[in-house]
Amino acid sequence: MNLDRFHLSHWKGLSFEERLKALQDLEHHYAKVQGRKPRNVESEKMPGLNYMGYYDPSQDIIKINEDHIKQDDFHFCCVETLIHEGRHAYQEE
């Protein structure tokens, strides 16, 4: 998988929708590596930057803090959160 979209020089030029798509593509990649089904990735408005995201087992979905996706310098935080929450999804299987 090409991870160039997550380099700051590329991330800055992506729209919000393109950033969310990049995160969804990454989820598909890591799910395949882990041998699990990929989850949908959505953004959610959360009460501040201290909230990273979460895996919701009732909806079987990964939520990432909307403000993190919008911030140029939170690109690695989004990736780290996605991988972390994907692991929770894996544990649910």
Most distant pair of Cα atoms in the chain: their distance: 36
pTM of the model: 0.93
- DSSP state string for 11-78: HTTS-HHHHHHHHHHHHHHHHHHHTSPPPEEEEE--SSTT--EEEETTTTEEEEEHHHHH-GGGHHHH
The mean pLDDT of 25-52, rounded to a whole number, is 95
Phi/psi at 51 (5° precision): -95, 120
- Using CA atoms of 58, 85, 75, 68 in order, give the dihedral in degrees to the nearest 10: 40
Q: Which amino acid, 19? A: R
Residue 42, φ and ψ in degrees, nearest 5: -130, 160
pLDDT tens by residue, 58-67:
999 999 999 9
- The residues with which 62 forms a beta bridge, in sequence order, are 41, 55
Report pLDDT digits (tens) over 18-36: 999 999 999 999 999 999 9
